[in-house]
């Protein structure tokens, strides 16, 4: 299977969907509502480093749309899309500088995801008061991003060893 080809992208998309679904089955909220590990982001992180940004973005967007239509709602799609797009843009920019370790890129991506979701929530609900929850979400996003980045690096070394 050619890396970056349609087949490998399909496998990564399917894996991201399975991880999204599996995570939705686990009723555990990490201490506070809205904070979760974001296992599907593991696939996006690996795609960003092993494929390229356009292919990783396509996988991310397809996963968001398919999961929202299959298991979610319009609002979950809007919040997820806002978070994913901001997070992805930030991760691509940080990765391009070659000044940040992949785990750092993932951690900042996790925090950015939460910023994007809060921005979407404030715009949709027209309630700036939701922003008070941002510091809690930022901590959760950084911790989740670190976990995803560490696991992603282990998987990259084992699966994509050259």
Q: What is the DSSP letter of 58?
A: H
Percent of the chain whose pLDDT exceeds 90: 65
pTM across the whole model: 0.90
The per-residue pLDDT for 74 is 84
Domains located in the chain, CATH noted: 6-159 (1.10.1760.20)
Given a cut of 80, is residue 45 above it in pLDDT? yes
Could you tell me how many residues make up the chain? 162
Q: How confident is the model over 124-146, as pLDDT tens digits?
A: 999 888 889 899 889 989 999 99
Tell me the H-state helices in the chain.
6-25, 40-50, 53-71, 74-97, 102-125, 134-159
Within 10 A of 157 (CB to CB), how many other CB atoms are there?
10
Can you tell me the distance from the alpha carbon of 80 to that of 61, in angstroms, rounded to the nearest whole number?
A: 10
| pLDDT tens figures, 19-42 | 998 888 876 665 566 677 789 999
The Cα 17–Cα 92 span in angstroms is: 22
Burial (CB count <10 Å: 0-12, 13-18, 19+), residue 34: middle
- pLDDT-wise least confident of 68-72, 101-105, 106-110: 68-72
């Amino acid at each position: 299977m050619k890396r970056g080809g349609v087949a490998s992208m399909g496998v990564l998309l399917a894996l991201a969907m399975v991880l999204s679904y599996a995570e939705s089955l686990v009723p555990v909220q990490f201490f506070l509502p809205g904070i979760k590990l974001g296992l599907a982001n593991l696939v996006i992180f690996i795609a960003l480093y092993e494929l390229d940004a356009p292919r990783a973005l396509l996988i991310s967007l397809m996963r968001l749309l398919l999961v929202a239509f299959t298991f979610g709602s319009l609002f979950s799609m809007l919040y997820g899309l806002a978070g994913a797009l901001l997070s992805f843009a930030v991760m691509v920019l940080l990765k391009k500088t070659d000044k940040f370790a992949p785990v750092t890129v993932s951690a900042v991506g996790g925090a950015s995801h939460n910023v994007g979701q809060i921005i979407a929530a404030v715009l949709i609900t027209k309630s700036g008061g939701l922003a008070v929850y941002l510091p809690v979400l930022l901590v959760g996003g950084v911790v989740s991003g670190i976990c995803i980045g560490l696991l992603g690096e282990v998987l990259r070394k084992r699966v994509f060893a050259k």
